[in-house]
Chains A and B, each alone.
Chain A
Amino acid sequence: MKPLLSIGLLAALLGLPSRGETRLAASRTVLGNGLVVVASEQKALPMVTLSLLIEGGSRLDPAGREGTANLVAQLLTYGTKKHSAVELSDALDFLGATISTGCSEEAVTANLTILKKDLDAGLQLLAEILTEASFPQEEIEREKQAVIASIRAQEEQPGHIAEVKFMEALFPKSPYGRQVEGTAESVKRIERTVLVDFYEKNITPERAILSVVGDVSQKEIAEKLTQAFQPWQKKGGGKPSVAAPTPGPPTIIKVNKQLTQANIILGHGGVPRTHPDYYAIQVMNYILGGGGFSSRLTESIRNERGFAYSIYSQFEPQKYTGSFQIVMQTKNDSAAEAIKVTVAEVRKMREQGVTEAELNEAKDYLIGSFPLRFDTNRKVAAFLSQVEFYGLGLDYPDKYPEIIRKINREEVLRVARLYLHPEKLIAVAVADQTKAALKTLDLEGGL
């Protein structure tokens, strides 16, 4: 659907009122191997969703072998000591199961959705890829080609190019500033021993969170997991160490492509998810550009000027860092003016803050929409994993409305002044540069 509503708000939405919370009824258990299991029984449909998150991700990639964590994640389902890649594919398809594995800067993930009647088979398969992935040389070569092709294919998405350039400039020389997939050159260099080593060290239960949501009781799933995951043993590595990245200096990056629109990102550093100002920032950002059709940027850029179909801002938090971005696309020759208007809105937020009416609308939305986010088992599973990953506590849903409710205008103004920095903006424009005619970002009025 519309990018405005969904993308900008995702990060803001973590909390929930009484009704939804009783329905979640989640419990937390730690298995003998250190695996944290968060379970919520939902009996309405004969299906179960399992969402596994293992802390680590591409920030643990060895230097020169960027893309290792991603390649490990992709290869988990391409061969084990017991089954070939083709056998695994056929088995999963025959169950009608959906499985996906993925990687971010901070985690390797695996998601499995399966019919209740096939749960045992699904758990066996999951345990097998976590303990017995075999990384056959032939599959490694195949997957490397696939990753390199996918890096290439993404180059035809202007929004993706803008994002990559922005992150490079924001977090220079940090894993947070690199593509999770690595580069074609770094992927080519990754040897089998590097993959096996990463798997042995980092795919470990004491770094993992497994959320289980669906038609299975907490007792039943605990028993099944204790049994099925018995071979997944602690490896004694503990939690990986973390070096939070330092944001790079303001700059303008122009990429020339034959495009009808300039794809623009303006932004700078943000805050990690656990930062105490996180909630006030989310309220402030909802009003600035996170709140879909209700935001100031949408009103100013889309409704008043017709410059863009989509514009939004987001403070995207990770566990150890965060970023602030304003993202929009506008026809090449309105790019300079659109940037100017956007920067003026950022300044206005810093100078004047928000009105009482804006504040109340933002709070009402954040509190009121929260329980509606849990309208699918998959969303519940993703939420529970995040609650555990960020250490928010299972009572977080109870606390959320109060946290938001007590934020006032002074606090919004304070965080606007503290976390919005028009003078530190990194600006990226992927555009037909002959038409976009972008010059320099000056401190007074944007471009």
Chain B
Amino acid sequence: MRIAFFVFFFLLATLAPARAQNFNVTETTLDNGLKVLLLEDHKSAAVTFQVWYRVGSRNEIDGKSGLSHFLEHMMFKGTPTVKPEEYARIIAKNGGNSNAFTSQDYTVYFATMSREKIAIEIELEADRMANAILDGPTFENEKSVVMEERRLRTDDNPGAALGEVANAVVYMVYPYRRPVIGWMSDILNLTRDDLIRHYKTYYAPNNAYIVAVGDFSTPEMLAKIKQEFGKVARRPDPPKVTLVEPQQQGERRAGLKKEAELPLLAFYYHTPNILDKDAYALDLLSTILAGGRSSRLHHDLVYEKQIATGVDADYDGLAIGPSAFSISAQVMPEKNPSEIEKAIDAAIAKIKSEPVSDRELQKAKNQVEASFVFGQDSVFGQAMRFGQFESVSKWQLINDYLPGIRAVTAADVLRVAKKYLDSDQRTVGLLIPTKEQGE
């Protein structure tokens, strides 16, 4: 897919556990440092196999934004034994679906295939971990493709364009301020040497892990992985990101004027990631504010006042770096963004001053728990979840999640609301539509 991956955090942020069962994952680390996480799941005929590299836009520097994502595209341009674009064709003719995506924190390659065919994917991934060519006549064309992707996803998409501008204001220092797909001028300037340096620095078995979930036998799968990936040599550990986002002191505003139909308002607050004990309460806070039609903001803004077409709240705790709690709303036609801002401020003031009722807290817990069960419906979704927790820390944290959610009290929700929903610690983004049309 070769897709820049911005929204996935939000999708998974509310996927909290439902049963107190622990996942029966087999964890192994090969001699070259490659960690392997395997979970058998026989409820469908599918096996999903994912290679996670611990590199994303957070590992980039000014002037080279979009490098991780561009490298992801170029990883499909072959090795000495696989021709350009042949990888996807081989997977498809064996009945599989394959793709890849890049986020701020990681780059992932995957295929979903049957048990009988998954060995083909294992061989191809091991090959391109060590032997990608990243060069040749495909370079300039693929750069054009990435530029088209940026036009499609960001430049002609008002909501995404606002997110990009706001991120550049939410973070002054931490690399999350740069878009995953890269600034257009940076994409244009990326060179073959940049790609090769990035690949050699970060695409090492000791900087990657495998997650496979589905209809396979663990001993067979592990043997095949060892046979193929065991051949790849360890490399020096990549450099650490040492940047620290300084504490925000005072509200920031980010505006974007662009051809669009309706204004969009977004608030971003700084929060810790899932390693902090406040993470569970923050997750429930987002559900109480905007999870479902009966949530506070939906009921007030969308249903009662009819000033927003929709509202979202997301706690993005599955981030290695400084994470954020965001609230966003699209403004109804003929309504004013300032009305929405006032209404959200009032809802925040309320949740910071009175504890939520037992029933409201229980409802949020039920929603989070049910969606955790629903999240296990897909092998791909499960592998994503293990991969994301492993990216931030270790996959075993999933097992703590449900007990963590269940232990949250109304006092905890009140405390985290007071602590993090601080207007001096926020950025307000506003999309202001301009319009100029004609057939």
Please measure, in the bound complex, the distance between the C-alpha atom of A86 and the C-alpha atom of B368, giving whole angstroms.
20
- Among the stretches A124-132, A224-232, A302-310, A344-352, the one at the interface with B is A302-310
Whether A19 sits at the interface, judged by CB under 8 Å, is: yes
Name the A residues within 8 Å of B371 (CB-CB). Answer: 96, 98
| Nearest CB in chain A: distance from B216 CB, A | 13
Name the B residues within 8 Å of A93 (CB-CB). Answer: 291-295, 363, 366-367
Contact of A95 among B148, B366, B374, B379 (CB under 8 A): B366
A96 to chain B: closest residue by CB: B370
- Among the stretches A175-183, A256-264, A318-326, the one at the interface with B is A256-264
Whether A259 pairs with B92 at a CB distance below 8 angstroms is no
Name the B residues within 8 Å of A371 (CB-CB). Answer: 44-46, 114
| Nearest CB in chain A: distance from B151 CB, A | 4
B435 to chain A: closest residue by CB: A258
A367 to chain B: closest residue by CB: B95
Given A150-B309, A329-B152, answer yes or no on A303-B373 (Cβ-Cβ < 8 Å): no
Whether B148 pairs with A329 at a CB distance below 8 angstroms is yes
Given A97-B370, A307-B148, answer yes or no on A372-B45 (Cβ-Cβ < 8 Å): yes
Name the A residues within 8 Å of B295 (CB-CB). Answer: 93
Given A2-B2, A292-B92, A365-B92, answer yes or no on A94-B363 (Cβ-Cβ < 8 Å): yes
Name the A residues within 8 Å of B142 (CB-CB). Answer: 306
Whether A120 sits at the interface, judged by CB under 8 Å, is: no
Please measure, in the bound complex, the distance between the C-alpha atom of A422 and the C-alpha atom of B2, giving whole angstroms.
31
Whether A375 pairs with B378 at a CB distance below 8 angstroms is yes
Whether B377 pairs with A145 at a CB distance below 8 angstroms is no
Whether A378 sits at the interface, judged by CB under 8 Å, is: yes
Given A98-B374, A257-B437, answer yes or no on A309-B149 (Cβ-Cβ < 8 Å): yes
Whether A45 pairs with B294 at a CB distance below 8 angstroms is no
Whether A395 sits at the interface, judged by CB under 8 Å, is: no
A1 to chain B: closest residue by CB: B1
Within 8 A of B (CB), among A255-311: 255-261, 291-294, 299, 302-310
Residue of B147, B158, B370 with highest tally of chain A CB at under 10 A: B370
- Among the stretches B201-209, B256-264, B269-277, B347-355, the one at the interface with A is B256-264
Given A23-B44, A255-B439, A374-B45, answer yes or no on A156-B261 (Cβ-Cβ < 8 Å): yes
Name the B residues within 8 Å of A146 (CB-CB). Answer: 302, 306, 309
Whether A303 pairs with B92 at a CB distance below 8 angstroms is no
Whether A294 pairs with B89 at a CB distance below 8 angstroms is yes
Name the B residues within 8 Å of A308 (CB-CB). Answer: 145, 148
Name the A residues within 8 Å of B260 (CB-CB). Answer: 156
Whether B332 sits at the interface, judged by CB under 8 Å, is: yes
Contact of B1 among A5, A44, A364, A370 (CB under 8 A): A5
Whether A1 pairs with B99 at a CB distance below 8 angstroms is yes
Whether A202 sits at the interface, judged by CB under 8 Å, is: no
Whether A417 sits at the interface, judged by CB under 8 Å, is: no
Please measure, in the bound complex, the distance between the C-alpha atom of A114 and the C-alpha atom of B374, giving whole angstroms.
8
| Nearest CB in chain A: distance from B18 CB, A | 8
B302 to chain A: closest residue by CB: A146
Contact of B373 among A2, A115, A329, A376 (CB under 8 A): A115
B380 to chain A: closest residue by CB: A375
A97 to chain B: closest residue by CB: B370
Name the A residues within 8 Å of B333 (CB-CB). Answer: 148-149, 152
Name the B residues within 8 Å of A365 (CB-CB). Answer: 92-93, 95
| Nearest CB in chain A: distance from B256 CB, A | 13
Whether B399 sits at the interface, judged by CB under 8 Å, is: no
For chain A, the bracket of interface size reads 35 or more
Name the A residues within 8 Å of B419 (CB-CB). Answer: none
Within 8 A of A (CB), among B102-157: 112-114, 117, 138, 140-149, 151-152, 155-157
Given A47-B374, A90-B294, A96-B367, answer yes or no on A368-B262 (Cβ-Cβ < 8 Å): no
Whether A368 pairs with B45 at a CB distance below 8 angstroms is no
Please measure, in the bound complex, the distance between the C-alpha atom of A369 and the C-alpha atom of B378, giving whole angstroms.
16
B112 to chain A: closest residue by CB: A372
Residue of A1, A291, A302 with highest tally of chain B CB at under 10 A: A1
Name the B residues within 8 Å of A368 (CB-CB). Answer: 93-96, 114, 117
Name the B residues within 8 Å of A309 (CB-CB). Answer: 145-146, 148-149, 152
Whether B316 sits at the interface, judged by CB under 8 Å, is: no
Within 8 A of A (CB), among B44-74: 44-46
A364 to chain B: closest residue by CB: B93
| Nearest CB in chain B: distance from A196 CB, A | 22
Whether A361 sits at the interface, judged by CB under 8 Å, is: yes
| Nearest CB in chain A: distance from B406 CB, A | 14
Given A23-B45, A96-B371, A303-B141, answer yes or no on A291-B151 (Cβ-Cβ < 8 Å): no
Within 8 A of B (CB), among A36-51: 42, 44-47
Whether A89 sits at the interface, judged by CB under 8 Å, is: yes
Please measure, in the bound complex, the distance between the C-alpha atom of A361 and the C-alpha atom of B144, giving whole angstroms.
28
| Nearest CB in chain A: distance from B408 CB, A | 16
Whether B235 sits at the interface, judged by CB under 8 Å, is: no
Given A98-B374, A146-B309, A375-B112, answer yes or no on A158-B148 (Cβ-Cβ < 8 Å): no
| Nearest CB in chain A: distance from B95 CB, A | 2
Name the A residues within 8 Å of B113 (CB-CB). Answer: 372
A365 to chain B: closest residue by CB: B92
Whether A372 pairs with B148 at a CB distance below 8 angstroms is no
Q: A2-B3, A146-B309, A292-B92 are in contact. List 10 more A-B contacts (CB 8 A).
A: A19-B45, A92-B292, A96-B368, A146-B306, A153-B262, A293-B85, A305-B144, A306-B144, A374-B44, A375-B379
14 of the cross-chain contacts (CB-CB < 8 Å) are A20-B44, A46-B19, A96-B369, A115-B373, A142-B306, A258-B259, A261-B156, A306-B140, A306-B142, A308-B148, A368-B117, A369-B92, A374-B45, A375-B44
Q: Name A residues whose Cβ lies closer than 8 Å to a Cβ of B.
A: 1-2, 4-5, 19-20, 23, 42, 44-47, 85-86, 89-90, 92-98, 113-115, 142, 145-146, 148-150, 152-153, 155-158, 254-261, 291-294, 299, 302-310, 329-331, 360-361, 364-365, 367-372, 374-378
Lowest 9 CB-CB distances: which A-B pairs, in order? A368-B95, A96-B370, A306-B144, A2-B1, A293-B88, A306-B141, A44-B43, A89-B293, A93-B292
